Amino acid sequence: MSHRTAEISAAGLAERDLKIAWHSLDTETLLEELHTHPQSGLSSAEAAQRLAEYGPNQLAEAPRRTFLQLVIGQLNNFVVILLIAAALISAVVSYIENEPFIESAAILAIVILNAVLGVIQESRAEQSLAALKKLAAPDAQVLRDGRRISLPASQLVPGDIVFLEAGNFVPADIRLLETVNLRIEEAALTGESMPVEKNATMVLQPDAAIGDRKNTAFMGTTVTYGRGRGVVISTGMRTQLGMIAGMLQSVDQEETPLQRRLDQLGKTLGWAALVICGLVFLAGILQGGEVLHMFMIAVSLAIAAVPEGLPAIVTISLALGMREMVRRNALIRRLSSVETLGSTTVICSDKTGTLTQNAMTVTRIWVDGKMYEISGAGYSTEGEFRLNGEKIHLDDHPALLTALWVGTLNNDAVLERLESSNGHSSFRIIGDPTEGALLIAAAKAGALPEELNRAYPREQEIPFDSERKRMLTIHQVRDPHREDISPLDDQADRRQHIIQVKGAPDVVLELCRYYQTASDQPAVLDEATRKRILAANDEMTQQALRVLGVAYRIVSVLPEEINAPELEQDLVFAGLIGMIDPAREEVRPALEKASRAGVRTIMITGDYPNTARAIAESIGLLRPNQKVLTGGQLSEMDDADLQREVPHTAVFARVSPEHKKRIVDALKANGEVVAMTGDGVNDAPAIKRADIGISMGITGTDVAKETADMVLTDDNYASIVSAIEQGRIIYSNIRKFVYYLISCNLAEILIIFLPTAFGKWLFPFAGERVLSPLTPIQLLWLNLITDGAPALALGTEKGDPDIMDQPPRPPQEPIINRSMQIGVLIQTIAITAVTLTAFGLGLRYEPAAAETMAFLTLSLSELLRAFTARSERYPILKIGVFSNPWMNRAVLFSLALLLMVVYVPFFHPVFNTVALGWEDWRIILPLLLIPSIAAELAKYWMSRRPQKAAAEAGRKRSTL
């Protein structure tokens, strides 16, 4: 570290970094300038200091709307503009007639209050979505304090040592220090359609174009192949992507189809109200009504028709539901997915880590006819090696050690020791669990990876991919010691290299010409031995073990260019390593829950059919009449054949990522709504093609996460089922408050329209004057307080007890379906009838109190009706009258405000109310119960219809 660099002030670092051509520096100078170390990285203290100087590693986003902009957005509404116009006209009339501006001031006050509440609701929704966006932000693998850790990419600072693997998004601009077949897709930055091969050893000219900087990885691009390691040189808006004002959005805040349908519903009601308003206005004028009075009645009708709070309530309900899903380990990245979850009919799930515990443990190793057993579970290094039930001394079984060492050296996982407070140490696996299991098994045999890697340092590698189904590494023989490290030194010396291959047993075996005997010497692999190895592999897979084949080859000279076919020949087959990943305990009940909900589960795995079958049977996924198909069989089918087979298939084994997309297409062609899980780069097409794309949050690559609609933060199948349940609850709650608001608003329309148009016939004793039971201010207060708070409380319902016993909702089913239409009609008639009855009785007995009686009857019947709206099928007594605390608070709040405007004299002239006596309440109380009773009777009648239909179908089946 140079003294000059140490003296640079923190304030000048950012400006200095922009001027340095990092791609033109050699590695030593680069690390010196950034004051970092390639093996230990930055310390936490230094990283915190740099984070304070450079700021978070994130691109600048469009600023949020200001409070004033939110207010203007609330006021920029046709109905609100109509209300303001009405208030101004009322003020002008009051001025001309020298009367107080009570009515106009009240209208404006309520408009402002409505706008403020709307602003608060929108702000909370934006905050909820912003919090979810932070949760969805990508992570990065970083070297800090000498340890490899995962942290949010926003916490990266210049000087951090970052690891890149296939499927990762590059989290910052990075000067590469090490590359192994690293290729990066840079189309987002340079427009180059083909992935660019990177080379960390290159030192370029300072004026090299971005597309020519082969030693640099840029923020926002995607690693498509290989792996690498590098040092962060620029973050945030100082990156190349930031300089061209690129914008990465991890969560789309798009309007959902449901929101669009509801918005269209509001507009339809609004235009219909305008037509009715015009008719009422003309009818009133023709009947001798005053122009101003009829205009205010028309405004009242417009207020009653449009559910102004519906869009805000939908947004808040979706945001709250998404937060609940996060609590259930499912991060929803797109609002539209919440609706689709309720319609899901098929879950296509990975096996490893999703249906199983993702804690692979090596339990069997087969070498030259001998099946060794290994005890111990999980990531503990405690365990014994047994042969035929007897504990063995490993020194007497060198071929077993060779198989273990090959699996350990041909490995990208990291075994990290964790010290506990009680003095016991445990291990944590960083990387692929399958490779981690191999490290643990080797540790049980007495060797840790760092010791083997020092003795046999890796020189080259060809990473594993789903096409080759194997991984190749080349190691230099540097410091072999038979007694400490490896038996391989019997055949190797310091001038030699060891080629090691690990992968699918059948694939590896095809590359072998020899096999390792029990005496640790190679022998020619004849056909009988080949069949014996395949039989052993089949036996292990039938025991639900995942099996890897390991092989090696010792060479004196390596070719100048690393070419897989040239290296992967004449290999020595070392053995079979079998491991198991036990099923998660919570999977079986989750599968049963999904099955009851009409959601079918299909396992799609790259494992062997026997392994997949054993796991599927153990968790109850594979039923006697269902099939297991392999990738080979699938490849032989055309799309029509697959479409016929997929309804009867529960397990697809040995499939490639390309097969996943075909399976999704076949299911969708059969009318299924498909949720597809995936974690790799090649899974992205299938994830995108599915109706609900699901990525693993722990093992998933950044590409898979970015493509997915939902990310599982615990990689657990049970979380998918929980998300489907929550999706159903959210949609059900939206239906509830739409049902509630629409029935209330339609009733209010009739309550204004009928007396105005047909008052002479409805209330002949009232004289010739045009009647309106409610004033505009009363309707505003009703929509704002009585309707709004309970509707919002309906969005917090926990769902019907049997919501997961119902079949999936048809995707094309309208939110206002036939049953809701019937319910809306019943409620509209009931609420209209009781309100007009109260108004008519008031006109006959207490004319001064008639409007107040109508106002109270309508308001209280809607508040009571909110309790019955908590379930579309269950009676209120079964779900519990007071089981939703938010509903209790909302109703009490609305009731208090309602009684305030009736019994506080100050509000009487504002709301045109009077204090009612007991005689008035004797009329109101029985009437306000009628809509709720009608709702409960309608539920009973509607629930009996499916039961009768089912009983009739049963009788017909029994007679056949």
CA dihedral over 301, 303, 304, 307, signed as positive or negative: positive
- Taking the C-alpha atoms of residue 120 and residue 122, their distance in angstroms, rounded to an integer, is 6
Q: For residue 387, give Cα distances in angstroms to 97, 299, 374, 375, 521.
A: 107, 89, 9, 11, 20
Separation between Cα atoms, residue 497 and residue 555, nearest integer Å: 5
The two structure tokens encoding residue 121: 């609701």
- Residue 98 structure tokens: 């020298």
Single-letter residue type at 39: Q
Which ranges of 697-716 does DSSP label H, i.e. alpha helix? Answer: 702-707
The pair of structure tokens assigned to 50 is 């740099």
Q: Distance (Å, rounded) from C-alpha 112 to C-alpha 129?
A: 26
Query: What b/e string do you get for 669-690 counting C-beta neighbours within 10 Å, with b at 16 or more?
Result: eeebbbbbbbbbbbbbbbbbbb
Structure tokens at 266: 């509001």
Hey, what are 370's tokens?
A: 């001998």
Please tell me which residue in 17, 139, 160, 350 is annotated as part of the active site.
350
Q: 75: burial class by Cβ within 10 Å (0-12, 13-18, 19+)?
A: middle
CB 713 within 8 A of CB 697: yes
Alpha carbon 787 to chain centroid distance?
32
CA distances from 530 to 523, 573, 735 (A): 12, 10, 63
Give Cα 815 to chain centroid, integer Å. Answer: 23
Beta bridge partners of 500: 473, 552
Task: Give the DSSP letter of residue 224.
Answer: E
Alpha helix ranges (H) inside 385-430: 398-409
- Alpha carbon of residue 222 to chain centroid: 21
Strand ranges (E), 206-275 = 216-217, 222-234
Classify burial at 417, counting beta carbons within 10 Å of its beta carbon; exposed 0-12, middle 13-18, buried 19 or more: exposed
Q: What angle do CA 622, 625, 628 make, to 5 degrees?
A: 55
Q: Provide the token pair at 481.
A: 């010691």
Which residue bears the tokens 């669990």? 433
Q: Which residues of 713-746 are buried (b: 16+ CB within 10 A; e: fewer)?
A: ebbbbbbbbbbbbbbbbbbbbbbbbbbbbbbbbb
Residue 368 annotated among the catalytic residues of the structure = no
d(CA 736, CA 722): 21
Cβ-based neighbour number of residue 144 at 10 Å: 18
- Report the half-sphere exposure of 126 (CA within 13 A, side-chain side): 12
Catalytically active residues are 350
